[in-house]
């Protein structure tokens, strides 16, 4: 990214550009201090820029061949190439640094948690019926796993409701860390289904095969260890970053 008269010129590639082939406008978070993803910026967070991008600009192209993931194959995301695209100053959204310092990224955390909860509920719908059909419902270890799934799903629902309540009460600081806690709890549930049902549940057309594959990919947007560490730091009164989960 380089400065130009009246704005900036951008070269490079943005991965995970979902809706790029359908949207006219998109947002782009960039680091004026150097190349690389904004969450790994070498400059200060106060210098990061959130820009409005016109996807019809001829200097912006979409790579439709990029998307070939291990999971969520029913979806599509793109890579977008910026070949000297010009962004005038009036395309800046907020002040420089507003996105990280205002912790706007935390607004996305409940979306992830809700997606994980839907997958966990689907796995929980499948497991008891499958285990009864296989005659395994009397196994105490299976009962423990199913019991843990029941508790986890209920806990996840309550945690998301708690997050919504904090937002309604306009308690943003508490809501931010509560969102991460909800996300962490929900991520753990599907593994109990797999351990209770065994390898057979991972053979197509079992829905668990797809659920595991989808979540394995989707959950990597933020590694769960990096989500859990800021939760611990917050509980210990240490500084933490609820947006990008930096250590």
pTM of the full structure: 0.76
Q: Residues 179-221: pLDDT tens digits?
A: 788 877 777 778 888 889 998 889 998 999 988 888 888 777 7
Report yes or no on 241 lying in a domain: no
pLDDT at residue 175, rounded to an integer: 82
Are both 18 and 124 inside the same structural domain?
A: no
- Mean predicted confidence (pLDDT) in 162-168: 89
Q: How confident is the model at residue 41 (pLDDT cuts 50, 70, 90)?
A: low
Are both 92 and 151 inside the same structural domain?
A: no
Are both 11 and 70 inside the same structural domain?
A: yes
Are both 166 and 77 inside the same structural domain?
A: no
By residue range, what is the domain housing residue 182?
103-235
- Cα(27)–Cα(129) distance, integer angstroms: 44
Report yes or no on 240 lying in a domain: no
Q: How many structural domains compose the chain?
A: 2
Report yes or no on 52 lying in a domain: yes
Rounded to 10 degrees, what is the CA torsion of 165, 168, 174, 180?
Answer: 60
**Mean pLDDT, all residues of the chain:** 86
Report yes or no on 247 lying in a domain: no
- Cα(67)–Cα(19) distance, integer angstroms: 12
Q: Domain boundary at 99, 117, 141, which?
A: 99
Q: Domain boundary at 70, 99, 128, which?
A: 99
- Mean predicted confidence (pLDDT) in 102-118: 81
Are both 145 and 203 inside the same structural domain?
A: yes
Q: What is the CATH number of the domain that holds 166?
A: 1.20.140.10
Rounded to 10 degrees, what is the CA torsion of 200, 201, 205, 210?
Answer: -140
Are both 20 and 77 inside the same structural domain?
A: yes
Q: Is the pLDDT of residue 245 over 70?
A: no
- Mean predicted confidence (pLDDT) in 73-93: 93
Q: Identify which of 44, 42, 39 has the alpha carbon closest to the alpha carbon of residue 29.
A: 39
Report yes or no on 242 lying in a domain: no
Q: Is the pLDDT of residue 242 over 80?
A: no
Contact by Cβ (8 Å): 87, 10: yes
Q: Which of 4-13, 95-104, 155-164 has the highest mean pLDDT?
A: 4-13
Q: For residue 77, how many other CB atoms are within 10 A of its CB?
A: 15
Are both 89 and 110 inside the same structural domain?
A: no
Are both 125 and 72 inside the same structural domain?
A: no
Q: For residue 245, how many other CB atoms are within 10 A of its CB?
A: 21
Q: What is the CATH number of the domain that holds 42?
A: 2.40.110.10
Q: Is the pLDDT of residue 246 over 70?
A: no
Q: For residue 196, how many other CB atoms are within 10 A of its CB?
A: 25
- Cα(199)–Cα(75) distance, integer angstroms: 26
Q: Domain boundary at 99, 133, 166, which?
A: 99
Q: Is the pLDDT of residue 101 over 90?
A: no
Q: Is the pLDDT of residue 56 over 90?
A: yes
Are both 93 and 174 inside the same structural domain?
A: no
Q: Which of 52-56, 69-73, 187-191, 239-243 has the highest mean pLDDT?
A: 52-56
Report yes or no on 246 lying in a domain: no
Q: Is the pLDDT of residue 244 over 70?
A: no
Are both 66 and 165 inside the same structural domain?
A: no
Report yes or no on 220 lying in a domain: yes
Contact by Cβ (8 Å): 66, 15: yes
pLDDT at residue 43, rounded to an integer: 63
pLDDT at residue 229, rounded to an integer: 82
pLDDT at residue 26, rounded to an integer: 94
Report yes or no on 26 lying in a domain: yes
């Amino acid at each position: 990214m380089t400065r130009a008269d009246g704005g900036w010129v951008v070269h490079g590639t943005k991965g995970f550009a979902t809706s790029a082939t359908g949207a006219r406008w998109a947002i782009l978070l960039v680091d004026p201090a150097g190349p690389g993803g904004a969450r790994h910026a070498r400059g200060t967070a106060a210098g990061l820029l959130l820009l409005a991008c016109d996807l019809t600009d001829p200097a912006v192209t979409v790579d439709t061949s990029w998307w070939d993931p291990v999971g969520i194959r029913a979806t599509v995301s793109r890579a977008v190439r910026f070949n000297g695209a010009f962004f005038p100053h009036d395309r800046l959204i907020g002040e420089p640094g507003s996105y990280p310092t205002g912790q706007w990224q935390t607004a996305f955390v409940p979306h992830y948690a809700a997606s994980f909860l839907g997958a966990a509920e689907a796995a929980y719908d499948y497991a008891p019926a499958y285990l009864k059909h296989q005659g395994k419902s009397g196994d105490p270890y299976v009962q423990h796993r199913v019991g843990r799934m029941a508790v986890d799903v209920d806990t996840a629902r309550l945690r998301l409701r708690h997050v919504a309540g904090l937002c309604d009460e306009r308690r943003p600081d508490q809501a931010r860390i509560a969102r991460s806690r909800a996300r962490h709890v929900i991520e753990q549930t599907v593994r109990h289904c797999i351990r209770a049902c065994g390898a057979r549940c991972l053979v197509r057309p079992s829905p668990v095969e797809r659920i595991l594959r989808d979540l394995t990919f989707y959950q990597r947007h933020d590694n769960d260890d990096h989500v859990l560490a800021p939760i611990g730091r917050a509980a210990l009164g240490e500084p933490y970053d609820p947006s990008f989960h930096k250590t």
